Every structure is written in C-alpha cells, then in structure tokens.
Amino acid sequence: MKSVERRIALLLGLVCLLLASTFQPVHARGNLSEYLCDVEFVADKVGNPQWVILDGRGGSDYEKGHIPGAVNYGKAVVTVLKHPIDGRVVSVQEGEKLLSAIGLTNDKGLIVYGKKADYHVLCEMLPMYLGVKDYVYLDGGYEAWVAAGEKVEKGKVSPVPGDFKAKVAKPDHFVSTDEMIRIVKEKPSKMILIDTRSTAEFKAEENTILRGGRIPGAISVPVEKNLDPNTGKLLPKRLLAEVYKDVPKDSKVILYCHRGCRTGYGFIALEMLGYKNVSIYEDSYIVWGSLPNTPVEHEHYVNLRPTVSGLDALRARIEKLEKDLEELRSKK
C-alpha cells in the first residue's frame, strides 16, 4: 500500500512540475526585469509567432544586419512613434495603426532594440502605455547580440499586419504640462522630479530653446548615470540603488528631459529597484522652457550672437568658394 502511495505522490509531483513549466511567466528565461531582457531571452523568441521583434534603428543600419525576423519602419522608431521635431508621442489611435503595421496583435509580446545606449528606441515606454501584452528592451542593443555570436540576417522583413487595439494600461504614465504647473505651484510632499538631461543643460550652460534652466525643485540624474559606459547596458541593481539613493521608495517620481527621449532608461531603472509610482512629463523641457508662464529655476536665455556670428563666417566662406570656382572656370 505504501508503495502505491509513493507512486501516486511521485506522479502528482511530476504533474506539478509539468504545470509549473507550462504556466511560467513570459520572462522566465533570460529576463532582467519586467521591461528589460538579455540576448538569451531574445534568442529564445526568434521565430516565435507570439512575439514581434522591432529593430528601432534607421533603415540603412537595419538592412546591413539585424536580428533574424526583426521588423523595421524604414527609419528610426523615434521618428515614427514620436513627432520628429518636438518629440511628442503619437496619439492612441495612431499608435494602434503603427504597432499593427509591424504585425502586432493584442496576444503578442514586443521586443525592441537599437544601438547600444540608444535611449531613443524606448519612445518613453509608449507601447507599455498602450497596453502591449509584454514590452521588453534588449539590454546592450544590437551590439550585445553580435558580441554573443548570435546569427544575423540582412535585408528587409515584410510583416503581416496585425490588428492591435490599444487599452491604456497606466493612465497616469504621462503627466501633462498643466499638471506639472500645478505640481510645481502646490509642491506636494513625497514628490520627486528627476531631470535626465546633461549636467550642462540642467545648469543652463547648454541651451537650445528660449529659456534655459530647469523645472523648480528638480534633481539632476543624467541618463548616462544608468548605464555601463563600455557596454551601454543598464547598471546592476546594487549600482542603480546608489544612483537613486536619495529618492525615497514611497515617492511619486516624475522624469523629464529635453524631448522625453532620455526618460526611458530612468523609468526601467526605477521599476527594477521597486519604485511603484513613476511617470514621465511627456512635453518635457522643450515645451516647459518655451512657454512664457512656466516657472524656471536658474533661468538663462538663449544667446543668438554666436549663431549669428557663425552664419556671417559661413556666408564669407561660401562667397570665397564661389569666387574661387569662378576663377577656375575662367582658366579653362
């Protein structure tokens, strides 16, 4: 009898193991966090019809070599899912069309990659906001794939269009300018603003818009602080914890940069560290610093004199080149 009971117990154990392997989370192999994966994870998904792999680089780089089966928009994804000038993300309706165009459906996951350390391809985590089933970024980008000795494919992949329907998964992911003005005025407790631009931009020493400076109360964490300078991969958790040690875990955190592009790495890093309330100021400083009624800390205005002087020098060089060209023509 005991022998029969042992056999039944062993059989039940095997069934449990089988069920566990069948229903394991999608990120069980090669994952680094909910939104970050490594080469092993991507290699496991190549050829899997339940995943779309998006190469976020420009068309020419893509055609020279890409992960097998990866699709591409023919140009950098940042110029597709975000406005090419001010960087605002596309509407929910436009996002549906663009993600459907690369073969995405609501039951498929999406992997995106670009060149190493290229924050642009994350597009402010827009696919996550739109409710993509699983949205992950290849840590280290295309260079990590090649360095691992994985196969590379050339030419274009033509996807079969999908029918993705957006369902906003995190309504408070994007913070509007009106909300930011209210936040700055009211100064709520447990609110941290993180400026992911360069130190020079934060100090108004480098400025490409009307009013240089920063949003009042913001702290500076330049985007590169999240990355290993050699591999372009996100730092391990223990080092990221040091980067964000002054940001309380129970804070509401809002990230911003110049056009929003540099916020993606910070968002992933904070999520990896267990921060539960992280958002992005979508308009970012390109809008904030261009408006006349927004408060600016350490405000300095753009100086056009160097630009004008540079144009004068360029004009003089062009005139000289034209004169030299005429002289060469007259000697023929």
Are 180 and 288 in the same domain? yes
Residue with tokens 């056999």: 7
Task: Give the model confidence (pLDDT) of 8-34 as tens digits.
Answer: 455 555 444 443 433 333 444 567 789
- Clarify whether residues 178 and 119 are in a common domain: no
| Same-domain status, 245 and 282 | yes
Asked if residue 12 lies in contact with residue 5, where contact means CB atoms within 8 angstroms, the answer is no
Residue 308 is inside which H or E element, if any? Answer: helix 305-330
Q: Clarify whether residues 203 and 97 are in a common domain.
A: no
- Mark whether 181 and 132 lie in a shared domain: no
Token pair belonging to 235: 């730092």
Q: Which of 129, 147, 165 is the last residue of a domain?
A: 147
Query: Are 254 and 193 in contact, with CB atoms under 8 Å apart?
Result: yes
- CA 173/CA 218 separation, integer angstroms: 18
**326 inside domain:** no
Tell me phi and psi for residue 90, to 5 degrees.
Answer: -70, 165
**Main-chain phi, psi angles of 318, to 5 degrees:** -65, -45
Per residue in 158-197, is it b (16+ CB within 10 Å) or e — as a string?
ebeebebebeeeeeebbbeeeebbebbeeeeeeebbbbbb
- For 141, the token pair is 């980008």
Question: Are 203 and 247 in the same domain?
Answer: yes
Is 311 part of any domain? no
Domain that holds residue 239: 174-301
Q: Tell me the residue type at 26.
A: V
Q: How many residues does the chain have?
A: 332
Residue 310 lies in a domain: no
List helix spans (H) across 137-217.
141-147, 177-186, 199-202
Q: How many domains does the chain have?
A: 2
Report how far residue 31's alpha carbon sits from residue 234's, in angstroms, rounded to the nearest whole number: 13
The predicted pLDDT at position 11 comes to 52
Q: In 3D, which of 260, 263, 266 has the Cα closest to residue 282?
A: 260
The verdict on residue 316 lying in a domain is: no
Tell me the pLDDT tens digit for each residue of 160-175.
Answer: 999 999 999 999 999 9
Q: What CATH code is carried by the domain that includes residue 282?
A: 3.40.250.10
Residue 116 domain-assigned (yes or no): yes
d(CA 230, CA 141): 12
Tell me: do 122 and 198 sit in the same domain: no
CB atoms under 10 Å from CB of 297, counted, come to 13
Nearest to 288 by CA among 223, 187, 201, 222: 201
Pair 189, 225 in one domain: yes
Q: Are 95 and 182 contained in the same domain?
A: no
pLDDT value for 128: 98
pLDDT at 314: 85
One domain, residues 187 and 138: no
Residue 3 within any structural domain of the chain: no
Mean pLDDT score across all residues of the chain: 91
Amino acid present at 73: Y
In a domain, 332, yes or no: no
Say if residue 255's pLDDT is above 70: yes
CA distance 69 to 308: 48
CA 129 – CA 174 distance, rounded (Å): 9
pLDDT at residue number 24:
37
* 99 and 214 part of one domain: no
Task: Give residue-wise pLDDT tens across range 130-157.
Answer: 999 999 999 999 999 999 999 999 999 9
pLDDT digits (tens, 9 = 90+) for 53-103: 999 999 999 999 999 999 999 999 999 999 999 999 999 999 999 999 999
Encode pLDDT of 273-322 as tens digits.
Answer: 999 999 999 999 999 999 999 999 999 988 777 777 788 788 888 988 88
Q: Would you say residue 18 lies in a domain?
A: no
* pLDDT over 70 (residue 4): no
In eight-state DSSP terms, residue 153 is B
Same domain, 38 and 124: yes
Q: In terms of pLDDT, which residue wins out, 181 or 10?
A: 181
| The pLDDT of residue 244 is above 60 | yes
